[in-house]
Each structure stands twice: as C-alpha cells, then as structure tokens.
Structure 1
C-alpha cells in the first residue's frame, strides 16, 4: 500500500484536491442530514397531530457530535462502552485548543 509520502508533487496535489473535495461533500451531506432530521421530525409530529415543536436543530448537532465522539474513541455510540480514554483525552484537548486559539483570543 502506498503512502502520501511516496507521491510526486503533482500527485500529492491531486491527492490533496481529491481529499478536500470529498471532505466538503461529506460535510455538506452531514449538514443536509441534520437539517433533514429536523424537518422530518417536524413533519411527522404535525402528521400525527402532535402540537409540539421538534427539538431544535442544535439537538441534532449535539447528538451527532456525541455519537461521532464515541466512534472516534472506539466506543459503541449507543452504549458508550469500549472507548479508549487516551483517545478521549486527546479529542477533548484538541477541542480545548480550538476554543483557546480561535474563540478566546479576542476576549483576552
């Protein structure tokens, strides 16, 4: 199996372009799925005569975040069993670094 380190500069650029394009597609699909879940829940609640609001879109984002976090840590996303605490700690520190670098720098 070849690695990116063995690619020529032009192939490295193609690799990066393909990867970036598919990352964008993935994120668009995730965003669409989150929106669809909200709309579908709203429609289904109305269809059965439930006069309650669907959970806000942030609920679905938080749910996806929690399940993806579990997957990233090697845990079962439904039971949270089997996760690697070292990976969990790394992911948490990464999130804290993003917070500090991008969101706290203007408040200091």
Structure 2
C-alpha cells in the first residue's frame, strides 16, 4: 500500500490555498464576533445594573454551535422545530443501530 501524499499540481495548490485562506478568515471572524458579543452584552448588562448576569463566552459559543448544527443537518435554526426533532431522532437511531449506543431514541411524533 502506498502511503505517500501525492504532489499537488500548481492548480490544486492554488485551490487548497484559497480554501485555507477562507477557513482562516472565517475562524478569525467568528472569534472576533464572539469577543464582540461578550463585550456588548457585558456593557449593556452593566448599563442596567446587572453586570453579574452577563453571559460568559461559553454561552455565545454554544449559540454558534447549535446554529451551525442545525444548518449542517438541514434544519432552520429560526424555523420549524420538527425538522430538528427528526434530525436528532435519526442520529439517535443511527448511534443505537451501528454502535450499540445505550440510548432510547425520542419516540416518533
């Protein structure tokens, strides 16, 4: 079995570079947006005398994670919750069937 990496053509290398640059820009933009969300929330909470209630970075990270999960699975994060329900139920069934996960999938609606 040949385990060496193929040498990319100049055209393939350009494609890889474009995608990598876009990935890096996206990661930077998400990090900056998260920082800005935390900062703005803290400022607004301070303005109403609730600075101790300002959400932590992890809250905003989970919001991003949940929205991206919905988008990746074809569910509209602002729309029909039934789609998300069926996506999750399907994932539970797959885990149970293929990997013998000790879970009981949501009952069918």
Q: TM-score range by the shorter chain?
A: 0.5 to 0.7
Based on CA coordinates, which of the two structures has the bigger radius of gyration?
A: 2
Instruction: Report which stretch shifted further, 63-72 or 41-50.
Output: 41-50
Paired residues, what number? 83
Q: Quote the RMSD (CA, aligned, Å).
A: 2.5
- Give TM-score, length-normalised by structure 1: 0.66
Instruction: Report which stretch shifted further, 60-69 or 47-56.
Output: 47-56
* Structure 1 residues 14 and 38: CA distance shift in structure 2, 3 A: same
For residues 27 and 45 of structure 1, the distance between their equivalents in structure 2, rounded to whole angstroms, comes to 27
Query: Contact 2:38/2:60 (CA < 8 Å) preserved in 1?
Result: yes
Moved over 6 A (4+): none
Shift of residue 63, structure 1, vs aligned partner: 1.0
Which consecutive unaligned segments of at least 5 residues does structure 1 have?
A: 1-7, 94-108
For residues 43 and 72 of structure 2, the distance between their equivalents in structure 1, rounded to whole angstroms, comes to 32
For residues 47 and 24 of structure 1, the distance between their equivalents in structure 2, rounded to whole angstroms, comes to 35
